[in-house]
Every structure is written in C-alpha cells, then in structure tokens.
Structure 1
Amino acid sequence: MLLTAGALRVAPLQGEMTLSFLGRIADGYGLTVRSLLSSVTEVAGQQGVVGALQGDSEVFLNAAARDRVAALCRVPHVGLRRALPTWTREEPPGPSKERPTARFRNGVETVAAWGPACPGCVAARTGRVAPARVYLAAHQRVCPRHRCWLMGVPGIEGRVVGLAGCPEVVQAQADHRRLMRRSPVAASAFQVAEAVTAWWWAQVWPEERLWAMRLEAAMPAGEDPQRWRILARDLVTYPETVALAALLASRVWRLRVAAGGGGHLPYRLADVPCVPSELGGTLGS
C-alpha cells in the first residue's frame, strides 16, 4: 500500500545524500528509514537490505529499488539523478535484477565528505524544518546566506555553527570558490595547505592569538572547550588554509621558489628565503 499510494511528494535537495533523502521520505510517512527500506525492497515477505546502518552510512539502491522510491516520492528519475550524487553510482547485487536491493556503505573509504544541510535553506526549499545531510566539498562548508559553518561530525548528523563572530570565515569561502574557478591546481593546493595548517594547529604557539579568539567566537554555548578544539580545527584554520592554498597555486610564486632554489627541489626553508617572508605577508604575521 505504501509503495503504490505515493501520497506525499518529497523532492530531494541538491547534493543530498540518498540516505538523508530516504530519511525525509520516511519521516513524512511516520516510519524509520530502516522500515522504509524494508518496505521498498520487500518481495514475497523478504527484504533485500544488506549491511549495517551507522552514523556515517550511505545507502545504494539497485534499479528496481530506485523505481519504487521514485514512485513513492513522486519525483521523476531525471530529477533524482540530477540532485542525488550517489543515486545511480552503485548497483548492489541481489538475487536478480528484478528484485529491489539496498546496501549500506560506511566509512570515509566509501562515503565522500558530507555535513548537515543548512537548516534555513532546507526550510526555504521544503517548507519544513527537518535535518538533512548533503555532500560537501572543501569549498562548500559555509552557507553564505545564513552565515553558518556546516560541520561534519563522525557518528552523528553533524553540527551547524553560527559565524556571526567570524566574518573572515565567510569571506574565505568566497575567496576559495574564486580560486577554484581560476586555478586548475586549486584542489591539490588546498589539500597541501590543509595538511600544513593542521600541523600548525597541533603545535604550541604561545604568541598566537588569532586562532584562539576565533575558536572562542565560534564555540556554541554549553560546548566542552576540549571537545570543541578537536571539532573546530578546520573551521578555525579555514581562512589561513585558503590564503596558503592561493599562494601555493600561484604560478608566479612557484617560479620564484624554483628560482630561489637554483632550479632544484629545496629541502630546507633556508634554501628559499623568499618562502618565510611571503608566507608571513600572505597570512598577516
């Protein structure tokens, strides 16, 4: 009855995780997502759900299961395929192609980076305040409209952190997106920059004040300070990571470093004295 009725139309959010979308459908029918999947995959009293549902799970559906979900949510396949990045990414094997099958995948090895969808944007899009999870690239962590950081936290839905006290974090995402448009090496430069700022974060710098102030400004009321320091690293270091990535992606700067090293790969900062000075200028220190 549930599958044939299609009484509720539930549209996906752009970039939404398939499991999050199914969770919103289930909520509309007063079900758990596991119960919904049992119904979607049921044939002759047997369900085709494989794997364990965990806090970092994503679900993959075969074609037969996708047909049932499309009928249930009353959204054409083309719309689901356009909005949901993993809608057709994997065909979990079942006893036959005609039998609907769902498979849970867990962990960073198989599930791409994700975080909570901005609640304000979800409410504007759906007319309801409901939690949702979306895939987030490194340059999509900030909702500029509602000025919040969309923080993925392993094992839970994630955290939405207000950035009223950290306008530089909002600006950093605009800079990051501009860098992504202009430089073909921006993504790899950002990965290197993240590794560098993560190492800086792990050090003890008694004279450093900016990150400490940003950490405190973004901390939600009632949060444990020690836990928050672990969770907030990427947020706190984001402006400096973007600035460093822009420097690393600069062809002019890379040529200057090569010239300073005499055309050889430098092994020490002393080999390229321009690096510390330009880093200091870029990061304002």
Structure 2
Amino acid sequence: MLDDPGLYGPRWPLPLRVRPVPGESTGSFVNRLAHANGLSLAAFLDRVGQGEASAYTERVEKYPQSTEMYMNEAGLRYLAVLADRAAGLLQQDLPSLGAEHLLPGEEAAQWWWRWEPVAGHLVRYCPLCGDDLGVGEAVWLMSTDSWQVCLRHGYWSDDSRGRGPDCVPLAELPETLTAHRVRQQLAEQWGPAGEELFADAFQVAVYWWTRMPDTARWVQRAWTAGLDAREMRAAPLVIYPEAAELARAMVDFERAGQRDTADRTRWLEDVEQLMSGWGVDVAEGRQALLVWLGRHRMGPPERDCPVDQRCLALALGHNRIASRTGSVSQHSCLTWQLGMAAADM
C-alpha cells in the first residue's frame, strides 16, 4: 500500500507511470513523469505542494542538467502517490530523496530547486541505455563523481552542462574503457583499499595534468573526444589510463609492505620509467609521488584477514585523511582538487 499523503494530498496516481532509473536526479524523474502525462512542470508541481523557484519552472524544465529538486517528507508522500510508487522505493532510486536531504517541515508539502546540487554532480545517463529502457527523453543522474562510464555502450558522460556533447563515444579511445575496467577490478579484488588506491593514483594524475596539460597523449585523446585539450572537463577522461596503471603500481607497493628508503626509491624509479614512457615530464611530476610516499611511509597495524577475503590494509598516513565515502577525490589521501591552480597544490 502506498504512503498516506494526508488530508490535502493527491488521492490517485497520474494515468501514465514512469519508472525511475537507479541513481536518477529527482528533477529528471519529475520532469519525465510530468511530460509523460502531458503536463508542464508548473502544472505538475501544483499537485506536489508549494515550493521555492516556482517562478522559474520554464528554465528548470529547459535545463534539467543544471538544477536539482528537493522536498520535505510531505512532498515525498505526494510524489509517491502521483508516481504510484512507495516513498521508500523512490528513496532507493533517487538519491536526493534520501532522509539526509529531505527539507524540514512536516505539514504542508514543500519543494525547492537548487541550481547546484547539495551533493554530487548531475551527469547524463547513457542515451543508449535510456533507449533500451524505452525512456524517450534525456535522463540525468546524481553521480558522486563528475563523470560516468558506460562499458556496455562505450560512452563517457559528465556534468558539462551543455558545453559540448553530453556524451562522448569511446570507440576510438579503448584505453579509457580499459582503465575503467581496471578501476572496477581493483575495487572487486581489494574492496575499499582498491578504490582508495585508484583515487590516490587519479589525484596524482590530476596534479600532473594541472602542470602539464599539453602532454602529447592527453592532447590527442582530448581531440579524439572532440574536446579542447585545456578544458577542465577533458582532464578525467584523458588521464584515466595513466591513473589506472599507476593504481596497479600503488597496489603492488602496498602489498609488498616494504617501506624502507631503498624500497621506496626502487618503487619511485619504476614509476618514473612509466612516466617517461607516457611522455610525462619526470622532474615536474615527481613531487606528487613523493607526497604520496610520505603519506604511505608507515605501514598499517597488524590484523587478521578473513579466510574468504583478500585484505589490503593501507598505510596509517593514508587512513588519517582518506574517506570511505564520497567522490574519487574524497577517497584519496591527496587533497588536491581538479581546477586548483598549480601553485596551490
């Protein structure tokens, strides 16, 4: 049975149902539900409650990649009735309806549109996946990272907000698809440690790109993708392959557990050979590796590992900084951010 909307809420679902895509933004879902039933966004919202940004519904409807919808618990109950889907199921599929994002106020239904999401990024859902589901219009996801990769159809999408293509086909960039598979394999094999070491490697590559965006292979990848080589949105796509290869080297370092000066020097020399092969200036890029080694100087405490699980406990200096949740930058012990000036890193 659906949640009771209360005395003043809608009593019946809209005639046509729309199934949410897991991870979809609330604004994207509400737009699709309204359009499926021949309603403008403003007409639909009249049925959900009273909310902020109602004067801008035409802009909100036109730019779903730029804004996200939030509501209180009463608004969620109203939406559940209109969508013919239990509120709990909506919360499972639509991240911005999570309890931590619900607006205060328990009586009248309320909604609010933000031009910047509270958490995460609005990223286009793979259009071919949408076609397979019979969606019929663009779907926008709430993503922890500013990009997503569809391995099934070979698409890269990000939060570009209309600057260039929403989705980039990767048929001519197979190394980027391979890198994403490596990232998944590290997470599957080593759990959170694998995710965090990929994040460390990615942050090192961000440091390199910030200082050396004209590195030949990165420029060529950006051009192949139809992007400007110095455009910040190109950076995650073009550095992905090197980040994945560096992550493997970091896993090897942690697994070996040998952290004296000679061992660290040998590892650094091996990675510098990789950098040279990639065309990354070794002298310019070494500092980021030294910072990483400094935070992985002291090994983890001894602990038992379950017999059915491969454990990889990371260094103490890493664990003091890195988070187990959030975006790729938050998973890392390196606090640089894409978009920072080189001098600030």
- TM-score, with structure 1 as normaliser: 0.77
State the Cα distance separating 1:229 from its structure 2 match: 3.3
Residue segments in structure 1 that go unaligned for 5+ positions in a row: 42-46, 263-270
Identical aligned residues as a percent: 25
Cα gap change, 1:136/1:92 in structure 2, threshold over 3 Å: closer, same or farther?
closer
Among 31, 36, 45, the residue aligned to 1:37: 45
Deviations 1:7-47 (A, max 9, x none): 11011001111111111112223344354223310xxxxx2
Separation in 1, partners of 2:164, 2:171: 22
Among 111, 125, 133, the residue aligned to 1:102: 111
Contact preservation (8 Å) 2:24, 2:142: yes
Residue segments in structure 2 that go unaligned for 5+ positions in a row: 1-8, 279-345
Contact preservation (8 Å) 1:60, 1:103: yes
1:10 corresponds in structure 2 to 18
Contact preservation (8 Å) 2:68, 2:116: no
2:260 maps to a residue whose letter is A
Secondary structure, in 3 states, of the residue corresponding to 1:6?
Answer: coil
2:247 corresponds in structure 1 to 245
Cα gap change, 1:216/1:67 in structure 2, threshold over 3 Å: closer, same or farther?
same
Separation in 1, partners of 2:239, 2:222: 9
1:85 corresponds in structure 2 to 95
State the Cα distance separating 1:137 from its structure 2 match: 4.3
Q: Does 1:210 align with 2:217?
A: yes
Cα gap change, 1:215/1:158 in structure 2, threshold over 3 Å: closer, same or farther?
closer
Among 245, 268, 271, the residue aligned to 1:278: 271
1:87 maps to a residue whose letter is L
Separation in 2, partners of 1:205, 1:88: 38
2:103 maps to a residue whose letter is P
Cα gap change, 1:192/1:154 in structure 2, threshold over 3 Å: closer, same or farther?
farther
Cα gap change, 1:204/1:50 in structure 2, threshold over 3 Å: closer, same or farther?
closer
Within 5 Å, which residues of 2 pair with 1:1-285? 4=12, 6-41=14-49, 47-49=50-52, 56-89=66-99, 90-94=101-105, 97-107=106-116, 110-125=118-133, 127-138=134-145, 141-154=148-161, 159-183=166-190, 184-204=192-212, 208-219=215-226, 225=228, 229-252=231-254, 255-256=257-258, 258-260=259-261, 272-281=265-274, 284-285=277-278
Contact preservation (8 Å) 1:56, 1:155: no
Secondary structure, in 3 states, of the residue corresponding to 2:167?
Answer: strand
1:235 maps to a residue whose letter is L
Superposition CA RMSD, Å = 3.3
2:315 corresponds in structure 1 to none
2:166 maps to a residue whose letter is R
Q: Which moves more between the two structures, 65-74 or 131-140?
A: 131-140
